[in-house]
């Protein structure tokens, strides 16, 4: 008698409802995944994982509240889920490097997700080493990674907030925000705010 396949319990976190619903349908049709929770923001993803303790977390990089990397760090640190796969539109190897550092077990391009996702999740569940897309871009130096606080400041800057508005929201001094801004400009190789916005968009951090 053939053994029944193990059903893997998955949480899907993406703030684009139609795309998220498509992934949920895909996983359910595969027959070996049970979608036990969905989330539309980073904070909600952490809460859902806390409640259902899934086998696997599938999370988009660019999420409200907390980005995908912050979500992965949080759920792993709290023991809510050990295995996570990052979804992103960006093919640059720096994103894969950031995902590894955050503790992700895999990395899937959104444009290829409907063709490759089930295979990637199977590989991650089987304990294979970090799974990343084929054909990652290799040209140019890898940009330095950003700290969680730098990511927050960057998102607020890209959203058009002034240094004072950001300082008030984060309960920091204006001078501290100016220091964060200078550090971000240096890391991004940006000469002005437009360059900083471009950097954020290209890396899915806006």
Q: What is the pLDDT at residue 5?
A: 62
What's the CA gap between 56 and 87, in Å, rounded? 13
Contact 7, 28 (CB under 8 A): no
Domains of the chain and any CATH numbers: 8-125 (3.40.50.2300), 148-202 (1.10.10.10)
What's the CA gap between 141 and 26, in Å, rounded? 36
- Partners of 80 in the beta sheet? none
What's the CA gap between 72 and 6, in Å, rounded? 24
Reading the chain (206 residues) residue by residue, the pLDDT tens digits are: 445 567 899 999 998 888 899 889 988 888 889 999 999 999 999 999 999 999 999 999 888 888 899 999 999 999 999 999 998 877 777 777 888 889 999 888 887 878 888 888 888 888 887 777 655 544 444 456 777 788 888 888 877 888 899 989 888 898 998 898 888 888 877 887 777 777 776 666 65
- 26 in helix, strand or coil? helix
């Amino acid at each position: 008698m053939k053994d029944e396949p193990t059903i893997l319990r998955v949480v899907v976190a993406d703030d684009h409802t139609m795309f998220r619903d498509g992934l949920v349908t895909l996983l359910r049709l595969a027959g070996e995944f049970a979608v036990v929770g969905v989330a539309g923001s980073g904070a909600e993803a952490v809460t859902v994982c806390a409640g259902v303790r899934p086998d696997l977390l599938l999370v988009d990089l660019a999420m409200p509240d907390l980005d995908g990397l912050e979500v992965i760090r949080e759920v792993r640190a709290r023991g809510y889920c050990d295995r996570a796969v990052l979804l992103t539109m960006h093919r640059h190897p720096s994103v894969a490097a950031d995902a590894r550092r955050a503790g992700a077990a895999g990395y899937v391009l959104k444009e290829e997700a409907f063709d490759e996702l089930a295979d990637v999740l199977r590989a991650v569940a089987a304990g294979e080493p970090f799974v990343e897309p084929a054909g990652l871009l290799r040209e140019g130096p890898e940009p330095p990674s950003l700290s969680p606080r730098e990511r927050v400041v960057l998102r607020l800057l890209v959203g058009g907030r002034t240094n004072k508005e950001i300082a008030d929201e984060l309960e920091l001094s204006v001078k501290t925000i100016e220091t964060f801004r200078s550090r971000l400009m240096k890391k991004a190789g940006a000469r002005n705010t437009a360059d900083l916005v471009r950097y954020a968009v290209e890396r899915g951090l806006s």
